[in-house]
């Protein structure tokens, strides 16, 4: 077991090394459970068991600084009825500038479905909608141990921000810029 060097924190990820999120959209959105990768350090420390069919992708989101890529590693799940209802509204709100949800409207809409965002709201961006508990939108059990299988890295480096998201298509926002 070897510790990952901290210099990897400064090494940026390259879009060319990732699939684009557009490959996974169904009705302009999908349910995702996994990690946001912010640097090569995150990319090296996270390893998900192959039985879960993990995916790595880059997703373009609208931030206060304009459009920017965020990188993810995790699993794509089939959501339940709550997911379907929310995803339709969020996909619409992520599709055109005049319909985008403000941060407060996003939190209010999620609370209308009793979906908690109090621990994950800091990861919010237009087109990227985090929430706290995957069980609120996915009805099957998940073995969380399968998200931390990288035995080459000490456990304290493996553990990270496992978060559920509804990820929505923002392609039309790019065209409007």
pLDDT in tens, the chain (177 residues): 667 667 777 789 999 999 999 999 988 999 999 999 999 988 888 889 999 999 999 998 877 777 889 999 999 999 999 999 999 888 887 766 665 778 888 899 999 999 999 999 889 888 899 999 999 999 999 998 899 888 777 777 777 789 999 999 887 766 544
Helix (H) or strand (E) holding 57: strand 55-63
pLDDT, position 99: 58
pLDDT, position 54: 97
Q: Do 79 and 31 touch, CB atoms closer than 8 A? A: yes
pLDDT, position 69: 92
When divided into structural domains, the chain yields a total of 1
Whether 105 maps to a domain, the answer reads yes
pLDDT, position 177: 41
How distant is the alpha carbon of residue 49 from its chain centre?
18
Please report how the helices 103-112 and 81-93 are oriented relative to each other, as an axis angle in degrees rounded to 10: 160
Whether 34 maps to a domain, the answer reads yes
DSSP conformational letter for 129? E
Helix (H) or strand (E) holding 29: strand 29-37
Which residue is listed with tokens 């500038």?
97
Which residues form the domain of 132?
6-176
pLDDT, position 175: 54
Whether 1 maps to a domain, the answer reads no
């Amino acid at each position: 077991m070897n510790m990952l060097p901290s210099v990897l924190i400064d090494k940026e990820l390259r879009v060319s090394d990732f699939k684009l999120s557009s490959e996974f959209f169904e009705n302009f959105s999908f349910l995702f459970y996994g990690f946001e990768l912010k640097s090569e350090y995150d990319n090296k420390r996270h390893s998900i068991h192959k039985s879960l069919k993990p995916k790595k992708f880059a997703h373009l989101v609208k931030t206060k600084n304009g459009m920017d890529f965020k990188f993810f590693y995790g699993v794509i799940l089939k959501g339940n009825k709550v997911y379907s209802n929310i995803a339709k509204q969020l996909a619409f709100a992520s599709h055109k500038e005049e319909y985008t949800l403000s941060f407060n409207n996003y939190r209010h809409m999620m609370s209308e479905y009793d979906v908690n965002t109090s621990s994950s709201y800091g990861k919010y961006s237009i087109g990227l909608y985090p929430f706290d508990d995957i069980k609120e939108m996915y009805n099957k059990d998940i073995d969380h141990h399968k998200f931390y299988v990288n035995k080459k890295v000490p456990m304290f480096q493996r553990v990270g921000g496992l978060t559920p998201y509804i990820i929505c298509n923002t392609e039309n926002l790019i065209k409007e810029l």
